A = this chain, B = another copy of it.
Amino acid sequence: MNEFELIARLRPGLAVNSSVRTGAGDDCAVLDLGLSGEFALLKADAVVEGIHFLPDTPARQVGHKALARALSDIAAMGGKPGSAVVTLGLPRPFDPARVEGVYEGLNATARRHGVAVVGGETTTNPERLFLSVALLGTVEKDRCVLRSGAKAGDALFVTGELGGSLAGRHLSFEPRLAEARWLTEHHRIHSMIDLSDGLAGDLRHVLEASHVGAELRAESIPISRAARQRARSNADAPAPLQAALSDGEDFELLFSVPARQAVALTDAWRAAFPKVRLSCIGRITTEPGLRLIDPHGSKPLAAHGYVHFQ
Protein backbone atom coordinates (compact mmCIF):
# COMPACT_ATOMS: atom_id res chain seq x y z
CA MET A 1 0.00 0.00 0.00
CA ASN A 2 1.47 3.39 -0.91
CA GLU A 3 0.97 6.82 0.62
CA PHE A 4 -2.00 7.78 -1.56
CA GLU A 5 -3.86 4.51 -1.00
CA LEU A 6 -3.32 4.81 2.75
CA ILE A 7 -4.58 8.39 2.81
CA ALA A 8 -7.62 7.45 0.73
CA ARG A 9 -8.45 4.78 3.30
CA LEU A 10 -8.04 7.12 6.27
CA ARG A 11 -9.86 10.14 4.91
CA PRO A 12 -13.51 9.05 5.26
CA GLY A 13 -13.02 8.41 8.99
CA LEU A 14 -11.57 11.80 9.93
CA ALA A 15 -13.41 13.73 12.64
CA VAL A 16 -15.14 16.89 11.43
CA ASN A 17 -16.91 19.85 13.01
CA SER A 18 -18.98 22.79 11.85
CA SER A 19 -15.98 25.08 11.21
CA VAL A 20 -14.67 22.94 8.35
CA ARG A 21 -15.31 24.29 4.84
CA THR A 22 -12.74 22.01 3.15
CA GLY A 23 -10.98 19.31 5.14
CA ALA A 24 -8.23 16.89 4.19
CA GLY A 25 -7.63 16.57 0.46
CA ASP A 26 -6.77 20.07 -0.71
CA ASP A 27 -3.47 21.93 -0.34
CA CYS A 28 -4.73 23.41 2.94
CA ALA A 29 -7.77 22.93 5.13
CA VAL A 30 -10.26 25.80 4.87
CA LEU A 31 -11.86 26.80 8.18
CA ASP A 32 -14.56 29.29 9.09
CA LEU A 33 -13.53 30.67 12.50
CA GLY A 34 -16.00 33.55 12.33
CA LEU A 35 -13.57 36.03 10.79
CA SER A 36 -15.38 38.72 8.86
CA GLY A 37 -14.88 38.04 5.14
CA GLU A 38 -12.04 35.56 5.55
CA PHE A 39 -11.40 31.87 6.01
CA ALA A 40 -8.49 30.47 7.99
CA LEU A 41 -6.12 28.08 6.21
CA LEU A 42 -4.24 25.35 8.05
CA LYS A 43 -1.53 23.04 6.72
CA ALA A 44 1.27 20.84 8.02
CA ASP A 45 4.25 19.72 5.98
CA ALA A 46 7.50 17.95 6.84
CA VAL A 47 11.05 17.35 5.68
CA VAL A 48 13.05 14.33 6.83
CA GLU A 49 16.80 13.79 6.63
CA GLY A 50 17.70 11.25 3.95
CA ILE A 51 14.31 11.74 2.25
CA HIS A 52 13.86 15.46 1.54
CA PHE A 53 17.42 16.58 2.29
CA LEU A 54 20.77 14.94 2.96
CA PRO A 55 23.07 14.93 5.99
CA ASP A 56 25.38 17.36 4.17
CA THR A 57 22.65 19.73 2.92
CA PRO A 58 23.45 23.23 4.22
CA ALA A 59 21.39 23.73 7.39
CA ARG A 60 19.89 27.04 6.28
CA GLN A 61 18.48 25.38 3.16
CA VAL A 62 16.86 22.67 5.30
CA GLY A 63 15.06 25.29 7.38
CA HIS A 64 14.09 27.23 4.27
CA LYS A 65 12.67 24.16 2.55
CA ALA A 66 10.68 23.07 5.61
CA LEU A 67 8.79 26.37 5.71
CA ALA A 68 8.72 27.05 1.96
CA ARG A 69 6.85 23.79 1.27
CA ALA A 70 4.03 24.85 3.58
CA LEU A 71 4.09 28.39 2.16
CA SER A 72 3.62 26.89 -1.31
CA ASP A 73 0.45 25.19 -0.07
CA ILE A 74 -0.90 28.50 1.25
CA ALA A 75 -0.09 30.05 -2.15
CA ALA A 76 -2.03 27.29 -3.91
CA MET A 77 -5.20 28.39 -2.05
CA GLY A 78 -4.64 32.07 -2.91
CA GLY A 79 -3.91 32.72 0.77
CA LYS A 80 -1.74 34.89 3.00
CA PRO A 81 0.53 33.08 5.49
CA GLY A 82 0.40 34.12 9.15
CA SER A 83 2.02 31.99 11.85
CA ALA A 84 4.03 28.79 11.95
CA VAL A 85 4.73 26.23 14.66
CA VAL A 86 7.64 23.83 14.27
CA THR A 87 8.04 20.23 15.45
CA LEU A 88 11.73 19.41 15.59
CA GLY A 89 12.81 15.78 15.95
CA LEU A 90 16.51 15.86 16.86
CA PRO A 91 18.90 12.99 16.19
CA ARG A 92 20.98 11.67 19.06
CA PRO A 93 23.50 13.21 19.42
CA PHE A 94 22.59 16.48 17.72
CA ASP A 95 24.77 19.34 16.60
CA PRO A 96 23.49 22.60 18.14
CA ALA A 97 25.17 24.66 15.41
CA ARG A 98 23.30 22.70 12.73
CA VAL A 99 19.97 23.24 14.49
CA GLU A 100 20.73 26.95 14.80
CA GLY A 101 21.49 27.00 11.06
CA VAL A 102 18.15 25.30 10.31
CA TYR A 103 16.37 27.97 12.33
CA GLU A 104 18.33 30.78 10.64
CA GLY A 105 17.08 29.59 7.26
CA LEU A 106 13.56 29.10 8.53
CA ASN A 107 13.42 32.52 10.19
CA ALA A 108 14.87 34.31 7.16
CA THR A 109 12.22 32.81 4.89
CA ALA A 110 9.53 33.56 7.49
CA ARG A 111 10.58 37.22 7.61
CA ARG A 112 10.56 37.56 3.81
CA HIS A 113 6.92 36.46 3.79
CA GLY A 114 5.72 38.20 6.97
CA VAL A 115 5.34 34.92 8.87
CA ALA A 116 5.75 34.62 12.65
CA VAL A 117 7.40 31.50 14.09
CA VAL A 118 5.47 31.09 17.32
CA GLY A 119 6.85 27.94 18.89
CA GLY A 120 6.23 24.27 18.66
CA GLU A 121 7.77 21.18 20.08
CA THR A 122 11.27 19.77 20.34
CA THR A 123 11.73 16.04 20.75
CA THR A 124 14.08 13.19 19.88
CA ASN A 125 14.12 11.21 16.62
CA PRO A 126 17.31 9.24 17.22
CA GLU A 127 18.41 8.37 13.67
CA ARG A 128 17.69 11.55 11.70
CA LEU A 129 16.54 15.15 11.77
CA PHE A 130 12.76 15.46 11.29
CA LEU A 131 11.18 18.86 10.82
CA SER A 132 7.43 19.42 10.57
CA VAL A 133 5.99 22.91 10.04
CA ALA A 134 2.34 23.72 10.61
CA LEU A 135 1.24 26.98 9.04
CA LEU A 136 -1.84 29.07 9.73
CA GLY A 137 -2.96 31.56 7.10
CA THR A 138 -6.02 33.42 5.93
CA VAL A 139 -7.75 34.08 2.64
CA GLU A 140 -10.61 36.30 1.57
CA LYS A 141 -13.69 34.11 1.14
CA ASP A 142 -14.13 35.17 -2.48
CA ARG A 143 -10.47 34.57 -3.34
CA CYS A 144 -10.08 31.05 -1.92
CA VAL A 145 -9.19 28.64 -4.75
CA LEU A 146 -9.72 24.88 -4.45
CA ARG A 147 -8.54 21.91 -6.48
CA SER A 148 -12.11 21.01 -7.19
CA GLY A 149 -13.17 23.99 -9.29
CA ALA A 150 -11.74 23.08 -12.72
CA LYS A 151 -14.36 23.26 -15.49
CA ALA A 152 -14.42 21.71 -18.94
CA GLY A 153 -13.08 24.27 -21.39
CA ASP A 154 -10.72 25.91 -18.88
CA ALA A 155 -7.22 26.77 -20.04
CA LEU A 156 -4.49 25.11 -17.96
CA PHE A 157 -1.47 27.20 -16.92
CA VAL A 158 1.75 26.43 -15.08
CA THR A 159 4.32 28.84 -13.66
CA GLY A 160 8.09 28.43 -14.06
CA GLU A 161 9.84 25.42 -15.54
CA LEU A 162 9.41 21.79 -14.57
CA GLY A 163 11.59 18.78 -13.85
CA GLY A 164 15.04 18.22 -12.40
CA SER A 165 14.27 20.02 -9.15
CA LEU A 166 16.43 17.61 -7.15
CA ALA A 167 19.50 19.11 -8.85
CA GLY A 168 19.08 22.07 -6.49
CA ARG A 169 15.85 23.99 -6.90
CA HIS A 170 14.01 21.88 -4.28
CA LEU A 171 16.25 23.47 -1.62
CA SER A 172 16.11 27.06 -2.83
CA PHE A 173 12.73 27.63 -4.51
CA GLU A 174 10.75 30.67 -3.46
CA PRO A 175 7.05 29.84 -2.96
CA ARG A 176 4.80 31.60 -5.49
CA LEU A 177 2.86 33.60 -2.90
CA ALA A 178 3.01 36.95 -4.68
CA GLU A 179 2.07 35.37 -8.00
CA ALA A 180 -0.91 33.54 -6.48
CA ARG A 181 -2.16 36.68 -4.73
CA TRP A 182 -1.91 38.58 -8.02
CA LEU A 183 -3.81 35.83 -9.85
CA THR A 184 -6.73 35.83 -7.41
CA GLU A 185 -6.83 39.63 -7.29
CA HIS A 186 -7.00 40.17 -11.05
CA HIS A 187 -8.45 36.98 -12.53
CA ARG A 188 -11.10 34.40 -11.97
CA ILE A 189 -9.09 31.28 -11.08
CA HIS A 190 -11.22 28.13 -11.20
CA SER A 191 -8.70 25.69 -9.66
CA MET A 192 -5.15 25.77 -8.36
CA ILE A 193 -2.61 23.36 -6.85
CA ASP A 194 1.10 23.52 -6.15
CA LEU A 195 3.28 20.94 -7.86
CA SER A 196 4.89 18.68 -5.30
CA ASP A 197 4.26 15.21 -6.74
CA GLY A 198 4.99 16.08 -10.38
CA LEU A 199 2.82 17.70 -13.05
CA ALA A 200 1.05 14.49 -14.13
CA GLY A 201 0.40 13.34 -10.56
CA ASP A 202 -0.83 16.68 -9.25
CA LEU A 203 -2.95 17.36 -12.32
CA ARG A 204 -4.65 14.01 -11.69
CA HIS A 205 -5.53 15.24 -8.18
CA VAL A 206 -7.21 18.30 -9.73
CA LEU A 207 -9.06 16.19 -12.31
CA GLU A 208 -10.34 13.73 -9.70
CA ALA A 209 -11.47 16.50 -7.35
CA SER A 210 -13.16 18.37 -10.20
CA HIS A 211 -14.62 15.30 -11.99
CA VAL A 212 -13.15 16.36 -15.34
CA GLY A 213 -10.30 15.33 -17.65
CA ALA A 214 -7.49 17.21 -19.38
CA GLU A 215 -5.38 17.34 -22.52
CA LEU A 216 -1.77 18.49 -22.27
CA ARG A 217 0.16 19.79 -25.29
CA ALA A 218 3.61 18.23 -25.09
CA GLU A 219 5.37 21.10 -26.88
CA SER A 220 3.93 23.68 -24.46
CA ILE A 221 5.20 22.05 -21.27
CA PRO A 222 8.06 24.18 -19.92
CA ILE A 223 11.09 21.97 -19.31
CA SER A 224 13.78 23.13 -16.91
CA ARG A 225 17.42 23.45 -17.87
CA ALA A 226 18.25 21.01 -15.06
CA ALA A 227 16.06 18.30 -16.60
CA ARG A 228 17.62 18.84 -20.06
CA GLN A 229 21.16 18.81 -18.68
CA ARG A 230 20.54 15.64 -16.72
CA ALA A 231 19.19 13.89 -19.83
CA ARG A 232 22.26 14.99 -21.86
CA SER A 233 24.82 13.91 -19.28
CA ASN A 234 23.24 10.67 -18.11
CA ALA A 235 21.97 8.01 -20.49
CA ASP A 236 19.83 6.48 -17.75
CA ALA A 237 18.05 9.76 -16.92
CA PRO A 238 14.45 10.19 -18.07
CA ALA A 239 13.81 12.16 -21.24
CA PRO A 240 13.32 15.87 -20.46
CA LEU A 241 9.58 15.80 -21.19
CA GLN A 242 9.17 12.74 -18.97
CA ALA A 243 11.06 14.55 -16.18
CA ALA A 244 8.82 17.60 -16.53
CA LEU A 245 5.75 15.39 -16.29
CA SER A 246 6.91 13.16 -13.44
CA ASP A 247 9.63 14.71 -11.29
CA GLY A 248 8.46 15.91 -7.90
CA GLU A 249 9.15 19.02 -5.85
CA ASP A 250 8.75 21.67 -8.56
CA PHE A 251 6.68 23.85 -6.21
CA GLU A 252 5.23 25.73 -9.15
CA LEU A 253 1.55 26.66 -9.47
CA LEU A 254 -0.80 24.76 -11.78
CA PHE A 255 -4.11 26.54 -12.31
CA SER A 256 -7.08 26.71 -14.64
CA VAL A 257 -9.06 29.72 -15.83
CA PRO A 258 -11.95 30.20 -18.25
CA ALA A 259 -10.44 29.94 -21.75
CA ARG A 260 -11.63 33.39 -22.77
CA GLN A 261 -9.35 34.92 -20.08
CA ALA A 262 -6.24 33.11 -21.28
CA VAL A 263 -4.80 35.75 -23.61
CA ALA A 264 -5.45 38.72 -21.34
CA LEU A 265 -4.01 36.83 -18.39
CA THR A 266 -0.86 35.95 -20.31
CA ASP A 267 -0.30 39.57 -21.35
CA ALA A 268 -0.93 40.96 -17.87
CA TRP A 269 1.33 38.32 -16.31
CA ARG A 270 4.27 39.35 -18.52
CA ALA A 271 3.94 42.90 -17.30
CA ALA A 272 3.56 41.88 -13.64
CA PHE A 273 6.17 39.10 -13.48
CA PRO A 274 8.57 39.59 -16.39
CA LYS A 275 11.07 37.11 -14.92
CA VAL A 276 8.67 34.25 -14.21
CA ARG A 277 7.66 32.10 -17.15
CA LEU A 278 3.95 31.33 -17.54
CA SER A 279 2.85 28.57 -19.92
CA CYS A 280 -0.56 27.59 -21.18
CA ILE A 281 -0.08 23.82 -21.35
CA GLY A 282 -3.49 22.47 -22.27
CA ARG A 283 -7.15 22.46 -21.43
CA ILE A 284 -9.73 20.84 -19.20
CA THR A 285 -12.07 18.38 -20.94
CA THR A 286 -15.44 16.87 -20.12
CA GLU A 287 -14.10 13.39 -20.87
CA PRO A 288 -12.29 12.04 -17.82
CA GLY A 289 -8.63 11.00 -17.91
CA LEU A 290 -5.41 12.69 -18.90
CA ARG A 291 -4.18 12.75 -22.53
CA LEU A 292 -0.96 14.05 -24.06
CA ILE A 293 -1.02 15.62 -27.52
CA ASP A 294 2.22 15.55 -29.49
CA PRO A 295 3.08 15.57 -33.21
CA HIS A 296 2.19 11.85 -33.33
CA GLY A 297 -1.35 12.42 -32.08
CA SER A 298 -3.25 12.20 -28.79
CA LYS A 299 -2.66 9.34 -26.34
CA PRO A 300 -3.58 8.48 -22.77
CA LEU A 301 -0.79 9.64 -20.47
CA ALA A 302 0.83 6.72 -18.68
CA ALA A 303 3.30 8.85 -16.80
CA HIS A 304 2.50 9.01 -13.13
CA GLY A 305 3.45 11.49 -10.48
CA TYR A 306 6.22 11.15 -7.99
CA VAL A 307 5.27 8.72 -5.20
CA HIS A 308 7.03 9.60 -1.96
CA PHE A 309 7.83 6.04 -0.93
CA GLN A 310 7.67 2.31 -1.49
Contact = CB atoms under 8 A, between A and B. Distances in A.
A135 B287 CA distance: 40
A24 interface: yes
A7 B88 CA distance: 11
A132 B136 contact: no
Contacts of A20: 83, 116, 118
Interface stretch (A32-40, A185-193, A218-226, A293-301): A32-40
B96 A9 contact: yes
A10 B100 contact: yes
Contacts of A3: 90, 122
Interface stretch (A11-19, A153-161, A175-183, A205-213): A11-19
Contact of A132 (B90, B114, B115, B121): B121
Interface string A93-108: 0001001100110010
Given A42-B85, A134-B42, A29 B92 contact: no
A260 interface: no
Q: For this complex, into which size category does the number of interface residues on chain A fall?
A: 35 or more
A51 interface: yes
B87 A45 contact: yes
A25 B134 CA distance: 17
Given A10-B103, A107-B13, A118 B24 contact: yes
Contacts of A85: 29, 42-44, 134
Nearest to A10: B103
Nearest to A119: B24
Contact of A6 (B10, B29, B99, B111): B99
A144 to B, nearest CB: 14
Nearest to A111: B15
Interface of A: 1, 3, 6-7, 9-10, 13-17, 19-20, 23-26, 28-29, 31, 33-36, 38, 40, 42-46, 48, 50-52, 82-83, 85-87, 89-90, 92, 96, 99-100, 103-104, 107, 110-111, 114-128, 130, 132, 134, 136, 138, 308-309
- 10 tightest Cβ-Cβ pairs between the two chains A and B: A134-B134, A24-B119, A29-B118, A15-B110, A87-B132, A44-B85, A17-B116, A14-B117, A44-B120, A132-B132
